[in-house]
Amino acid sequence: MENPRKFGIVGKNISYSFSKKYFENKFKNLMLNNHSYEIFDLDDISKVDEIFKTADLAGLNVTIPYKEKVIPYLDELSDEAEKIGAVNCIVINDGIKKGFNTDVDGFEKTLLLHKKDHHQSALILGNGGAAKAVKYVLEKYGIPYVTVTRNGELNYTDLTAEIVNEHPLIIQCTPVGTFPNVDDCLDFPFDGITANHLIIDLIYNPSYTRFIKNAAEKGAKTANGFYMLEKQAEKNWEIWNFQKK
């Protein structure tokens, strides 16, 4: 029998993790009885060094709020992760820890599934690790974007319905509205949204955030983060196995 292979996810307040259930189902379906997946809920990223000492650890997922903060603890980065400055997948081979960004793959597949020709200008809400992956994909397809943040050049106070109207593609990258705080919503001028808009909210739990519901009431096409999550998870699995020596 092969040596055990341990995997897990590093984040903060992540008891709701999709990844654990997803990969445990995968192990079961593939009859990989020597594979396991654990949640590593850390109150500080410095504790990841202890996680890396786990015997037979083969790979990790990384989620909010550590996608950027984990980078100094790694030995190598993929091209995408280096350009983006955020990591959500780590593979460990012979003690070498290499970071990847599979949010790119997940968001790209989501965008191409829903995007129409007129979705040629975007608003990105938030500037965390997920937003960085979104920017990378939009740049790849030549779609100009403006970022809205709490303290940035364009913030939610200055955001007007007119600005929203001029950007038919809107990607919600903040955790606002995530379970269990399902009634929370960004302060956003929904009156600027029309039936021409495509709203992608990267949150997957709940399936319909308050943000998505408000946008749908204006006739916009909406998508949540579940498809992106599935696709990035499959990319993680591919990396963990392809990179295995």
As a whole number of angstroms, the distance between CA 70 and CA 128 comes to: 13
As a whole number of angstroms, the distance between CA 103 and CA 5 comes to: 23
Among residues 26, 29, 45, 49, which one has the least CA distance to residue 37? Answer: 26
As a whole number of angstroms, the distance between CA 176 and CA 130 comes to: 13
Catalytic residue among 6, 67, 97, 231: 67
Tokens of 199: 């709203």
Helix H or strand E segment including 23: helix 18-29
Helix H or strand E segment including 22: helix 18-29
Q: Respond yes or no: is residue 67 known to be catalytic.
A: yes
Q: Which residues are part of the catalytic machinery?
A: 67
